[in-house]
Amino acid sequence: MTRKPLVAGNWKMNKTTAEATDLAQQLSYRVDQAYEGVDILVCPPFTDLRSVYVTLDFDKSRIAMGAQNVYFEESGAYTGEISPVMLKEIGCSYCIVGHSERRGLFNETNDDINHKVRALQSHGITPLLCVGESLQIRQQRNALEFISDELRACLLGNPVAAADDLVVAYEPIWAIGTGHTATPEQAQDVCGQIREDLANIYSPEIAEQVRILYGGSMNEGNAALFAACPDIDGGLIGGASLDANKFMPIVDCFR
Ligand code: PGA
């Protein structure tokens, strides 16, 4: 089967509501029927979700919207948190989980992420699960084993029955926001192994359907190299997703 590529923009903690609306408008204006072969996703901060959704919906845009984080309970006394019910209602069809910035800066564990994956799946939101190794782990030549363990821990007990139940993003921590990308060979090695792991955890059929993205300093200059790798089905883009002129050329490499 052929997997439809997915190019996702992780806006992180950038863009006021006015700026986010402006960027959503610019992207929506450019994404016409010529982009039918690729799924495009933007993940703005929580405070921008409503206005980005309204902008994309008004334009009947093909661009999907996702969040950058979620809490796994449905409601209750969890000051400062946002539930999957709220994300669903506001128009999110995806949510990033397990980003290394959340793991590193906010102490999220594989167990927390496992609960988040389950909560999202049970509300029909596709989890975009990030895994990736530190520079130290790569230098110790333990990257593949580390990523397998991380993937298994985050997915343990979480069923995946269809392509939309899960997207995995391989994001080596040393490549995020640094300008140092993994080589296409390094990225393909890991993404190929993630697919094998998914075949073992679920089934070869499911592994063939689930999209695996690469993320970490992807830009218009290197995206085509990743797009050519057999197990890389798109990108998770940080810095270059904040400017339509930088994001769209990356999308073009995958369509
Ligand atoms: P980057 O970020 O493209 O700026 O390296 C990627 C990410 O953190 O998802």
The confidence score (pLDDT) of residue 162 equals 93
Please indicate, yes or no, if residue 232 is contained in any of the structural domains.
Answer: yes
Please indicate, yes or no, if residue 247 is contained in any of the structural domains.
Answer: no
Nearest atom of ligand 1 to the alpha carbon of 239: 4
The mean of the pLDDT values for the chain is 97
What would the pLDDT profile of 117-165 be if each residue is shown by its tens digit?
999 999 999 999 999 999 999 999 999 999 999 999 999 999 999 999 9
Number of neighbouring beta carbons within 10 Å of residue 36: 11
Ligand 1 touching residue 8 (CB < 6 A): no
- 141: which DSSP letter? T
Question: Residue 172's closest CA among 141, 137, 199?
Answer: 137
In three-state secondary structure terms, 40 is strand
Phi-psi domain of 238 (left: phi exceeds 0; alpha: psi -120 through 50; beta: other):
alpha
Considering its fold, how many domains does the chain have in total? 1
What would the pLDDT profile of 51-77 be if each residue is shown by its tens digit?
999 999 999 999 999 999 999 999 999
Please indicate, yes or no, if residue 142 is contained in any of the structural domains.
Answer: yes
7 vs 12, 169, 170, 213, 233, CA distance in Å? 15, 11, 13, 8, 8
In three-state secondary structure terms, 18 is helix
Q: Which of 115, 171, 180, 220 is catalytic?
A: 171
Please indicate, yes or no, if residue 249 is contained in any of the structural domains.
Answer: no
Residue type (1 letter), 219:
N
The confidence score (pLDDT) of residue 1 equals 58
Ligand 1 touching residue 96 (CB < 6 A): no
Please indicate, yes or no, if residue 248 is contained in any of the structural domains.
Answer: no
| Sequence-distant (≥ 6) Cβ neighbours of residue 60 within 8 angstroms | none
Residue type (1 letter), 203:
S
Query: What are 212's two structure tokens?
Result: 């695996």
Ligand 1 touching residue 217 (CB < 6 A): yes
Q: How confident is the model at residue 94 (pLDDT cuts 50, 70, 90)?
A: very high
Residue to substitute in 128, 130, 236 for testing ligand 1 pocket (most ligand atoms within 8 angstroms of CB): 236
Distance CA 110, CA 102 (A): 11
Residue to substitute in 94, 171, 173 for testing ligand 1 pocket (most ligand atoms within 8 angstroms of CB): 171
Distance CA 132, CA 213 (A): 12
- Residue 40 is part of a domain; what is its CATH number? 3.20.20.70
Please indicate, yes or no, if residue 250 is contained in any of the structural domains.
Answer: no
Residue 87 lies in domain: 6-19+33-242
Q: Quick check: pTM over 0.85?
A: yes
Are the C-beta atoms of 127 and 120 separated by less than 8 Å? yes
The confidence score (pLDDT) of residue 2 equals 86
Please indicate, yes or no, if residue 177 is contained in any of the structural domains.
Answer: yes
Are the C-beta atoms of 253 and 224 separated by less than 8 Å? yes
Counting residues of the chain whose pLDDT is more than 70, the rounded percentage is 100
Phi, psi dihedrals of residue 43, rounded to the nearest 5°: -120, 90
Residue type (1 letter), 126:
T
**Radius of gyration of the chain, Cα coordinates, nearest whole angstrom:** 17
Are the C-beta atoms of 210 and 167 separated by less than 8 Å? yes
Distance CA 69, CA 52 (A): 16
Distance CA 198, CA 161 (A): 12
Please indicate, yes or no, if residue 24 is contained in any of the structural domains.
Answer: no
Distance CA 125, CA 166 (A): 9
Q: How confident is the model at residue 179 (pLDDT cuts 50, 70, 90)?
A: confident
